[in-house]
Structure 1
Amino acid sequence: MDATILMLLLQDGVVNGAIYALIALSLVLVFTVTRVILIPQGEFVAFGALTLAAFEAGTVPGTVPLLLALGAAACAADLVEARHALDARRILRIALRDLVLPGAVAALAYALGPGKPTLALGIALTLAIVTPMGAYLHSIAFRPLEKASVLVLLVAAVGVHLALTGLGLVFFGAEGSRTPPLSDAMLPAGPLSVSGQSLWMIGLTLAIIVALWAFFGLTLLGKALMATAVNRLGARLMGIGPGMAGRLSFSVAAFIGALSGVLVAPLTTIYYDTGFLIGLKGFVAAIIGGLASYPAAAAAAVLVGIIESVAAFEASAFKEVIVFMAIIPVLLWRSARADPVEDEE
């Protein structure tokens, strides 16, 4: 391996790491706020990519009826959750959030989808379709289990992942899809050439990181999420509802996942089950970062991307094994540093 090849591998690793960083950040966000390890995060990535591909093909994506179904189920779940304090204003708010919003998005998709919308409009519609799914999944599957243990929440997350994977096969089929790049430009950088798509990926990742920093540090909603992450009971005593915090964190995670799908779809063919592997690598980065630190998760994601790129060159048959084995020394190190915990009887 000479210096030029090493630079190419590092470039590929940083580009892949940008996607893994987005996944890792969303996993850290959801876990710190709700204690849910969001295994279905990869499905948001796949749904984002396949939804945009459907718009590019001039068809209405299968995520539109899925959005309507999830909205109706979330409306029923929210009404049951608030049954002891229902009034006209709350019913109207739930109906607007769970029925009118997905209905309006679906109407736009059915009106504009067959006409092959422009790339920018297709991306906007994709984000509008996938983002509310996060909040609806929280209301349906995780809000009733908010007091359960992390293990129970993990089992529920696995169940949601399996359900969404099956629905992805039903709505999109087994064929894969790709989308056109956001930019066809090729910029020389010494012995390398940097594609415009790579710059879009890195730039949007940095923009998301800055936006999250500003959101948590400067906005009232962001500070409410941070308070919930630091002390759930204290946040509740200050009037910050766990339901609101959970819906917001899941919505942000779904938005980041859909955006990741839009960015990665031009680089590789996306199938209905591709998101799981991408999400799993983001999960590895989040674990290396401790599932608590956003900067550590982003840095670990770049490291995972570089390890994957080098492993693909040196031992392509064992690329995935090497990437996932990287988590073992980190877990051993954290276990050695952790204080012993006695089992409660």
Structure 2
Amino acid sequence: MNLQIALLLGQDGITNGAIYALLALSLLLVFTVTRILLIPQGEFVTYGALTMASLQAGQPTALVWLLLGLTLADCAMDLYDATRSSRGFRFQKRIVPKLAYALLLLGLLRSLPLAELPMAVQALLTLALVVPLGPQLYRLVFQPLASASSLVLLIVSIAVHVAMVGIGLLMFGPEGARTAPFSEAGLTLGPVTFNAQTLWVIAVSLALIVGLFLFFERSLYGKALRATAVNRLGARLMGISPTLAGKATFALATFIGALSGILIAPITTLYFDSGFVISLKGFVGAIIGGLVSYPVAALGALGVGLIEAFSMFWASTYKEIIVFTLIIPFLLWRSLTSRHVEDDE
């Protein structure tokens, strides 16, 4: 291995590590606020990438029908809760904008020349389709089980992952897809040329990480989410709704996953089931952070990307084994240094 090969591998490692860092932060965010280990986070990545590819091919994506179906189910649950209210039946006004949003997207996808739209508009349409799925899944699947044990939430999360993989196969088919890059330009630094898509991934990842830091440290809503993560009961006594916090974290995690899919779709071919392995590598970074520390999780995910890239050169056959084996020493270390035992709530 010479210097040029090492720099090229480092470029790939940083690009992959930036995506893994975003996924690690989103997994950590959802877990600390809701105690849910979001196994289907990778499906939001593939949904974002494959939806973007469908729009660029000029095909009205079937994802809008999934969005419409989940919206109808969400509205039906709102009506059901209204009928059981002790204050009598009151029509939920939020049902109207929910239905209007889904029907508006359906009309836009049926009328717009999708393949001729600017790439930025295609990306916005993709995010508009994918991001609402997160809060809807929380409302339909996890909110009724919010007080259940962590084991039950994990089992339900795995079931949602399996269902979303099957739905992805039904909507997008078994063929992989790759989208057009944002730009064909590049940046040459010495013996290495950074392509524009790599620079986009790194820049957007850094912007999101800084934005998340400012959101949680400076904004009122970010502090409310942090309070919910520290003490759900105390946050509720202070007027912070755990339900709203759960929906907000799912929306943020879905946004990060869909945006990650849009960013990496021009770099690698993604299939309907590619998200699980991608999210697992983000999970390794989150474990390195102890499912507590955001900066350590981001650095750990970046290290996972670098180790994966160099493993492809030295032992490509065992690349995945090497990456996932990283989790063992950190689990052992945290087990040996733990000074207390968590009681079941």
Structures share a fold, TM > 0.5?
yes
* Distance change (3 Å), C-alpha of 1:342 and 1:59: closer
* Distance change (3 Å), C-alpha of 1:51 and 1:233: same
Aligned match of 1:286: 286
* Distance change (3 Å), C-alpha of 1:300 and 1:161: same
Aligned match of 2:145: 145
Conserved 8 A contact 1:55-1:116: no
Query: Is 1:93 matched up with 2:94?
Result: yes
Query: Is 1:271 matched up with 2:271?
Result: yes
Q: Secondary structure at the match of 1:291?
A: coil
Amino acid at match of 1:317: T
Query: Is 1:218 matched up with 2:218?
Result: yes
Aligned match of 2:261: 261
* Distance change (3 Å), C-alpha of 1:287 and 1:263: same
Deviation of 1:117 after TM superposition, in Å, equals 2.0
Aligned match of 1:134: 134
In structure 1, C-alpha distance between the alignment counterparts of 2:343 and 2:237, rounded to whole Å: 30
Query: Is 1:328 matched up with 2:335?
Result: no
In structure 2, C-alpha distance between the alignment counterparts of 1:81 and 1:165, rounded to whole Å: 30
* Distance change (3 Å), C-alpha of 1:342 and 1:145: closer
Amino acid at match of 2:279: G
Q: Secondary structure at the match of 1:310?
A: helix
* Distance change (3 Å), C-alpha of 1:243 and 1:184: same
Please give the per-residue CA displacement for 1:182-233, whole angstroms capped at 9, x wherever unaligned. Answer: 1211211111111111110000001111111222122222121111011110
Please give the per-residue CA displacement for 1:289-331, whole angstroms capped at 9, x wherever unaligned. Answer: 1111211111111000001001111110110111000000010
In structure 2, C-alpha distance between the alignment counterparts of 1:287 and 1:46, rounded to whole Å: 22
* Distance change (3 Å), C-alpha of 1:60 and 1:212: same
Deviation of 1:115 after TM superposition, in Å, equals 5.0
In structure 1, C-alpha distance between the alignment counterparts of 2:113 and 2:72, rounded to whole Å: 22
Q: Which runs of 5+ in 2 are unaligned?
A: none
* Distance change (3 Å), C-alpha of 1:92 and 1:197: same
In structure 2, C-alpha distance between the alignment counterparts of 1:10 and 1:249, rounded to whole Å: 32
Q: Secondary structure at the match of 1:47?
A: helix
Q: Secondary structure at the match of 2:266?
A: coil
In structure 1, C-alpha distance between the alignment counterparts of 2:56 and 2:115, rounded to whole Å: 9
Conserved 8 A contact 1:288-1:300: yes
TM-score, length-scaled by structure 1: 0.95
Question: What is the percentage of aligned positions where both structures have the same residue?
Answer: 54
In structure 2, C-alpha distance between the alignment counterparts of 1:87 and 1:195, rounded to whole Å: 60
Please give the per-residue CA displacement for 1:4-37, whole angstroms capped at 9, x wherever unaligned. Answer: 2222211111110011011111101101110000
Amino acid at match of 2:185: A
* Distance change (3 Å), C-alpha of 1:194 and 1:87: farther
TM-score, length-scaled by structure 2: 0.95
Q: Secondary structure at the match of 1:194?
A: strand
Deviation of 1:94 after TM superposition, in Å, equals 3.6
Deviation of 1:44 after TM superposition, in Å, equals 0.2
In structure 1, C-alpha distance between the alignment counterparts of 2:252 and 2:113, rounded to whole Å: 24
Aligned match of 2:208: 208
Q: Secondary structure at the match of 2:184?
A: coil
In structure 1, C-alpha distance between the alignment counterparts of 2:7 and 2:162, rounded to whole Å: 38
* Distance change (3 Å), C-alpha of 1:318 and 1:115: closer
Amino acid at match of 1:204: V
Deviation of 1:80 after TM superposition, in Å, equals 3.4
Deviation of 1:95 after TM superposition, in Å, equals 3.7
Aligned match of 2:196: 196
How many pairs align? Answer: 343
Aligned match of 1:84: 85
Moved more, 227-236 or 215-224: 215-224
Query: Is 1:35 matched up with 2:40?
Result: no
Amino acid at match of 2:187: L
In structure 2, C-alpha distance between the alignment counterparts of 1:299 and 1:85, rounded to whole Å: 49
Query: Is 1:239 matched up with 2:239?
Result: yes
Deviation of 1:104 after TM superposition, in Å, equals 2.0
